[in-house]
Chain A
Amino acid sequence: MKKSWILLLLGLASAAVFLVAPMIGMKFLGLDAVFPHGPDTIDSHIFWKIRLPRVCTSFLAGAALAVGGSAFQAMFRNPLATPFTLGVASGASLGASLYVGLGFSFSFLGISGSSLSAFAGAVLAILVVYSFTRARRSFSTGSMLLAGVALSFFFSSLILLIQYMSDFTKTFHILRRLIGGIEAVGFDSVLSLFPFVASGAVIIFSLNRELNLLSTGEDLAASRGVNVVRTKQVIFLGASLMIGGVVSICGPIGFIGMMVPHICRLMIGPDNRYLTFASLMFGGGFLTLCDMLARTLFAPVELPVGVVTAILGGPFFFWLLLAGSSERTVF
């Protein structure tokens, strides 16, 4: 079948990116570095301890952002509805800023306090959005998105306020978090990210059929036997696990969650049974690629990966708005 072939090709391409990316950097590392003959060389140390964890982190993060985005787009029947447009990123940033601004210092189960605060902020934002959807039955997706934008502005102002009242060092720390990026040394961040992403992805994958039905409208979904309220709760849970986990470790990385599902929809159609899987692989591969560019283009200076994704994503988005009215992609 055609769709299976596209999935297979996507899988192979993202696997290739995943395998090649850790070799490429300021210095190309060949197989000698991957499988050193003698004792640990510097090159093998760079490969195993620095580049591979980073590639794993970016792959997980990209996959999670894309899968979360495609789930939200289907659930809200709107191409602009992603956890990011609904204020999750700014919620996470607010959490992290509060942690830095108030001078906290703690960690729990090996996860840093700033990550935990960011996670709490992301979950808070999703809760606000969720209770918004529950408050009135008749809320349109339009008002949902407006509320998300308003929430983002509100959180951003609070962040500015915290920055304004903090000293110089703290302000700098907060700024670093706001920019977002993938910084992984060793496998700690991979290990703390993996459970979030895996559990969220399993949840979303188990609900692909429900997502298809929700994307035809909540009334139709209910009439075909979907328990709409509970299904949406579970999707919210899955998405907040994934997005919260990613944002708490990598900061806000824009556009992946919005852009990747759209590209995948163009390639493979709107059926979520294929789409979520395609988004997972494309998102993982794409962010890994962007991060590779971010750390090599102007080496030794490293660009924040959010800059690369947004520079690629912005023009794409204009293109999508102008030319993307294909009936297969737009709800």
Chain B
Amino acid sequence: MIMNEPAIEVENFSFAFGSKRILDRVSLKVSVGDSLSIIGPNGAGKTTLIKCLNRILSGGQGSIKIKGKPLELYSQKELAMAVSYVPQADGRQLPFTVEEFVTMGRYPYLSPFSSVSRQDRGIVRRAMELTATDSFADRTLGSLSGGERQKVFIAAAVAQEADILLLDEPTTFLDYRHQVEIRRLIKDLNRHHNTTIMAVTHDINDAVVSGSRVLALKAGELLFDGSPQELIRQGLLENIYETSFFLIDHPRTGRPIITPEESEP
């Protein structure tokens, strides 16, 4: 693994919807092969940050570089070859079959009237195998469970063959088994395929367990960038979420488990 080669460099980046400032002078560096979690309360700007990195949202002040090249020098297709994205599970209705949907991940490599090549089909097939979605390749997305669907979305991102994968709350709304499976899948992509991972999460424990690094956003500002242990040691959680937490040590691993302190006994 090559370390320190930059995957994402954000410098003094601000973003606003109209007059409402969402991101406020955010700076961060992510190296190739890193895996990091973005935490923060609702409305902190986590999703916006991710969407700015692959230009789902365009505009903003400051600079963003992807793999050393300024974002504005990328065409949207070139950018899609470098960065892939898994959106929040928002219950959108998709009429396509799993295979049709995963094949759309090959879009940046296709020209307008050409058909999907055998090589593309092979890549789609491998992406479905890697995510264990090949067994239901012919089913439509609408007929899948939330967990299966999420794996299909990741499969499509894998088929895109980008080095950087952005995920927006990949395990929210999933049952425990699927949470574990998705986390394992993401870890596998990071460890064995050298994919740089940046995942928004609401589950701090998830961040502690899976993220080698945590970014904490609050009201558009980057409050913290470092290891989960450091985040807890500095006692920043209360500040970020404006609520109190208990810390319990995991009986086997010794890692802290974080749970909000309720006023009721």
Alpha-carbon distance A220/B160, docked complex (angstroms): 12
Asked if B76 contacts A330 (CB within 8 A), the reply is no
Segment from A205-213, A287-295, A305-313, A315-323 that makes contact with B:
A205-213
Alpha-carbon distance A269/B56, docked complex (angstroms): 27
A-B contacts counted at CB < 8 A amount to 82
B118 at the interface (CB under 8 A from A): no
Q: Chain B residues with Cβ under 8 A from A327's Cβ? A: 93, 95, 140, 142-143
A227 at the interface (CB under 8 A from B): yes
Segment from B34-42, B106-114, B221-229 that makes contact with A:
B106-114
* Residue interface bits A204-231, CB-to-B below 8 A is 1, else 0: 0011010011011111101111111000
Of B76, B78, B85, B166, which contacts A226 at CB under 8 A? B76
Q: Chain A residues with Cβ under 8 A from B76's Cβ? A: 222, 225-228
A270 to chain B: closest residue by CB: B95
B130 at the interface (CB under 8 A from A): no
Asked if A220 contacts B95 (CB within 8 A), the reply is no
A222 to chain B: closest residue by CB: B56
B92 at the interface (CB under 8 A from A): yes
Asked if B101 contacts A225 (CB within 8 A), the reply is no
Asked if B95 contacts A137 (CB within 8 A), the reply is no
* Residue interface bits B46-63, CB-to-A below 8 A is 1, else 0: 000001001111000000
Asked if B54 contacts A222 (CB within 8 A), the reply is yes
A219 to chain B: closest residue by CB: B56
Closest CB-CB distance, B142 to chain A, in whole Å?
Answer: 3
Interface SS of chain A: helix, strand, loop or mixed?
loop
Closest CB-CB distance, B152 to chain A, in whole Å?
Answer: 11
Interface SS of chain B: helix, strand, loop or mixed?
mixed
Closest CB-CB distance, A196 to chain B, in whole Å?
Answer: 22
Q: Chain A residues with Cβ under 8 A from B140's Cβ? A: 327-328
User: Given that A225-B76, A225-B108 are known contacts, is A220 also in contact with B96, CB under 8 Å in the complex?
Assistant: no
B6 at the interface (CB under 8 A from A): no
Alpha-carbon distance A51/B183, docked complex (angstroms): 66
Q: Chain B residues with Cβ under 8 A from A218's Cβ? A: 56
Alpha-carbon distance A69/B110, docked complex (angstroms): 26
Of A209, A222, A269, which contacts B95 at CB under 8 A? A269
Alpha-carbon distance A265/B78, docked complex (angstroms): 32
Alpha-carbon distance A222/B55, docked complex (angstroms): 7
B87 at the interface (CB under 8 A from A): yes
Of A213, A223, A269, which contacts B83 at CB under 8 A? A223
Asked if A225 contacts B81 (CB within 8 A), the reply is yes
Asked if B79 contacts A225 (CB within 8 A), the reply is yes
B100 at the interface (CB under 8 A from A): yes
B236 at the interface (CB under 8 A from A): no
A133 at the interface (CB under 8 A from B): no
Q: Chain B residues with Cβ under 8 A from A138's Cβ? A: 17
Q: A213-B107, A327-B140 are in contact. List 9 more A-B contacts (CB 8 A).
A: A206-B113, A209-B107, A216-B94, A224-B80, A224-B105, A225-B76, A225-B81, A269-B95, A271-B96
> Interface on B for A, CB 8 Å cutoff?
17, 51, 54-57, 75-81, 83-85, 87, 92-96, 100-101, 104-105, 107-108, 110, 112-113, 140, 142-143, 156, 160, 166
